[in-house]
């Protein structure tokens, strides 16, 4: 029954996407057979008015009809440009996740159920919602601290019934992923079912506001001394599974360029800060805000950038950070063979591929960069070419790197909106250069040597225990060789029961065969 309902919901989603012109707006090049036919039918079904809209507007209309689960699906797919293409990923990344607000009574009920106290005991004042999205809405509020100080806070409250709605729609997403994997062999490299599983897991995390609070708290701690960037502090006493309370942010959204200019902010400095902050978090901390579209960034009266809404966060390990630094360094120095070798050393490209051919493909990407003025180089175009190359050479998708790359493109877009002549390389150099010096220079070698010595020390301390385990294992193997394997009584009993069942099944099968033979012999005679 669930499968039937999921199929019906999938058919409805396809109809809505076709009618709103979303499918017609997707590229048809390279499609053949049923896929090309389906694209043609969907294009014929599109409303005429959709032809006047751009792809982001079409997607917004479709998502408004399909509901909050699809808004979240769109945001998630924006983190996977390898799956849907970079252009569509950027359109989805800039979608405004706006929904109708739900009644105050529901918010109060959610807050009290989650925190176990009356709203009057938690807040001096709780205002009407000022923003509503697919998963939650935000209320302004005032709280009184222990010293009597009253301060402004933002209270995020989970939308009623959203978990049940997402659970239902996830069945539809899984069905589509299974069909895609079964009938579109070219998509198997991208592992659609695994992507659906990742979506299911990330949605569960995002719907527990305690986990978002933990991510915000970590980013707040990491950035507390960073120049020009901050994250609001979490109020843990007023935060639970369905409620998240943060310091209120007074500022102008980064998307409102005219207001920023009128307020006297230095737009060029803000462009540098947003890029440098992102790179600092990713390369220094290995933990970054992965949804840095301008609607989630504010500029406060002091000119600092304040990041909110950490529903999507990214992590990369030291290995990945070193990989990215060497890739960047190789492009800057035009050492394309080194860039290729780094891909193979990291295991990102299958070993049976030709490293020289891969280096040649990397050169085709890197050489044009050096013939352009730095301010005209687009990270978006660079990443598009990289995705095409990785596809040719069967490079397995790396979700954590793709998330980093997609966020970098969005951040670059923010910077260029603030400063049309923004120089990505010049802005990045102080952060990336410092990281390379610290982590790939002589100091890094000494640090690695120190880490290696510490690891050897831990191994040396555990050698007596390892030797004892090895001796016991050797004695057990020797005893099995001379006396045979000994089984526990419960294991012997379980094997006996299984044998008995097998024996009974065998006898039943023989009787059936015998009776069938008699029946055949009787009718033949």
Of 279, 284, 278, 283, which is closest to residue 231 (Cα–Cα)? Answer: 278
Q: Please report, for the domain that includes residue 108, its CATH number.
A: 3.30.200.20
Structure confidence at residue 233 as a pLDDT band (50, 70, 90):
very high
pLDDT at residue 513, as a whole number: 42
Q: Which residue has the tokens 């009644």?
A: 103
Least confident of 135-144, 195-204, 385-394, 506-515: 506-515
Structure confidence at residue 167 as a pLDDT band (50, 70, 90):
confident
What six digits make up the tokens of 197? Answer: 């599983």
Q: Are 288 and 415 members of one domain? A: yes
Q: What mean pLDDT do residues 116-140 have?
A: 92
Q: Which residue has the tokens 């526990």?
A: 488
3-state secondary structure 461-517: HHHHHHHHHHHHHHHHHHHHHHHCCCCCHHHHHHHHHHHHHHHHHHHHHHHHHHHHH
358-398: pLDDT as tens digits: 889 888 887 877 666 656 666 656 666 766 676 678 776 66
Of 326, 315, 309, which is closest to residue 285 (Cα–Cα)? Answer: 315
Q: Are 216 and 279 members of one domain? A: no
72-88: pLDDT as tens digits: 677 666 666 655 665 66
Q: Are 128 and 50 members of one domain? A: no
Structure confidence at residue 451 as a pLDDT band (50, 70, 90):
low
3-state helix, strand, coil in the chain (%, to 5): 65, 10, 25
Range of the domain at 480: 448-486
Q: Which of 6-20, 307-321, 452-466, 499-513 has the highest mean pLDDT?
A: 307-321
Give the active site residue among 91, 272, 291, 309: 291
Domain count for the chain: 5
pLDDT at residue 25, as a whole number: 67
Q: Are 237 and 339 members of one domain? A: no
pLDDT at residue 263, as a whole number: 95
Q: Are 307 and 453 members of one domain? A: no
Structure confidence at residue 511 as a pLDDT band (50, 70, 90):
very low
Q: What mean pLDDT do residues 399-423 have?
A: 81
% of the chain at pLDDT higher than 90 = 27
When the pLDDT of each residue in the chain is averaged and rounded to a whole number, the result is: 77
Q: Are 341 and 378 members of one domain? A: yes
CB 133 within 8 A of CB 115: no
Q: Are 123 and 241 members of one domain? A: yes
Q: Are 258 and 129 members of one domain? A: no
- pLDDT at 239 exceeding the cut of 80: yes
Least confident of 131-135, 223-227, 313-317, 354-358: 131-135
CB atoms inside a 10 Å sphere around CB 281: 24
Buried b (16+ CB within 10 A) or exposed e, 110-134: bbbebbeeebeebbeebeebebbbb
Q: Are 311 and 435 members of one domain? A: yes
Least confident of 6-10, 215-219, 284-288: 6-10
Helix axis angle for 209-223 and 192-206, nearest 10°, is: 80
Structure confidence at residue 223 as a pLDDT band (50, 70, 90):
very high
Q: Which residues contact 424 (CB under 8 A, 6 or more apart)?
A: 275, 374, 375, 377, 379, 412, 415
Q: Which of 96-100, 118-122, 335-339 has the highest mean pLDDT?
A: 118-122
Tell me which of 427 and 250 has the higher pLDDT. 250
pLDDT at residue 28, as a whole number: 65
Q: Are 433 and 500 members of one domain? A: no
Determine whether 291 is an active site residue: yes
Least confident of 28-37, 200-209, 258-267, 349-358: 28-37
Q: What mean pLDDT do residues 397-406 have?
A: 70
Q: Are 324 and 354 members of one domain? A: yes
Tell me which of 316 and 167 has the higher pLDDT. 316
pLDDT at residue 87, as a whole number: 65
CB atoms inside a 10 Å sphere around CB 274: 27
The whole-angstrom separation of Cα 73 and Cα 165 is: 13
pLDDT at residue 6, as a whole number: 72
pLDDT at residue 366, as a whole number: 79
Least confident of 160-164, 183-187, 306-310, 434-438: 183-187
Q: Which residues contact 101 (CB under 8 A, 6 or more apart)?
A: 128, 129, 132, 137
The whole-angstrom separation of Cα 417 and Cα 422 is: 9
Tell me which of 438 and 465 has the higher pLDDT. 438
Which pTM value belongs to this model? 0.69
Q: Are 420 and 457 members of one domain? A: no
């Amino acid at each position: 029954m669930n499968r039937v309902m999921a199929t019906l919901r999938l058919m409805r989603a396809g109809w809505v996407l076709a009618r709103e012109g979303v499918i017609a707006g997707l590229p048809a090049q390279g499609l053949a057979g049923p896929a090309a036919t389906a694209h043609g039918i969907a294009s014929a079904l599109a409303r005429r008015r959709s032809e006047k809209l751009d792809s982001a507007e079409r997607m917004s209309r479709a998502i408004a009809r399909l509901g909050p689960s699809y808004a979240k699906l769109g945001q998630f797919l924006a983190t996977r440009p390898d799956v849907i293409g970079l252009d569509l990923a950027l359109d989805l990344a800039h979608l405004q996740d706006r929904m109708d607000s739900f009644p105050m009574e529901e918010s109060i009920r959610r807050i009290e159920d989650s925190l176990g106290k009356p709203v009057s005991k938690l807040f001096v004042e709780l205002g009407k919602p000022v923003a509503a999205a697919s998963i939650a809405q935000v209320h302004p509020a005032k709280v009184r601290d222990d010293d009597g100080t009253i301060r402004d806070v933002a209270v995020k409250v989970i939308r009623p019934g959203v978990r049940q709605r997402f659970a239902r729609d996830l069945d539809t997403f899984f069905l589509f992923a299974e069909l895609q994997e079964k009938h579109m062999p070219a998509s198997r490299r991208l592992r659609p079912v695994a992507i659906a599983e990742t979506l299911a897991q990330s949605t569960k995390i995002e719907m527990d506001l305690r986990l978002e609070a933990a991510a915000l708290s970590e980013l707040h701690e990491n950035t507390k001394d960073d120049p020009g960037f901050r994250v609001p502090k979490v109020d843990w006493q007023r935060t639970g599974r369905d409620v998240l309370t943060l310091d209120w942010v007074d500022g102008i959204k980064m998307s409102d360029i005219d207001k920023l200019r009128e307020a006297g902010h230095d737009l060029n400095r803000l462009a540098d800060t947003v890029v440098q902050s992102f790179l600092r978090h990713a390369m220094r901390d290995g933990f970054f805000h992965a949804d840095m579209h301008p609607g989630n960034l504010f500029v406060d009266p002091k000119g600092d950038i304040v990041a909110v809404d950490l529903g999507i966060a990214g992590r990369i390990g030291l290995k990945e950070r070193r990989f990215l630094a060497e890739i960047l360094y190789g492009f800057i120095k035009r050492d394309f063979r080194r860039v290729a070798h780094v891909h193979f050393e990291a295991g990102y490209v299958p070993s049976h591929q030709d490293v020289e051919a891969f280096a040649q493909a990397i050169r085709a990407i890197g050489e044009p960069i050096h013939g352009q003025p730095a301010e005209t180089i687009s990270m978006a175009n660079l990443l598009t070419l990289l995705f095409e190359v990785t596809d040719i050479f069967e490079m397995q998708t790396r979700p954590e790197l793709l998330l980093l790359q997609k966020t970098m493109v969005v951040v670059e877009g923010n910077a260029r909106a603030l400063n049309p002549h923004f120089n990505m390389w010049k802005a990045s150099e102080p952060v990336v250069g410092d990281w390379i010096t610290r982590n790939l220079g002589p100091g890094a070698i000494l640090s690695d040597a120190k880490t290696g010595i510490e690891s050897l020390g831990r191994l040396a301390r555990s050698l007596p225990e390892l030797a004892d385990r090895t001796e016991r294992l050797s004695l057990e193997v020797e005893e099995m060789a001379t006396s045979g394997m000994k089984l526990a009584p419960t294991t012997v009993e379980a094997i006996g029961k299984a044998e008995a069942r097998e024996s009974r099944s065998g006898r039943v099968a023989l009787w059936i065969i015998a009776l069938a033979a008699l029946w055949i012999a009787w009718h033949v005679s």
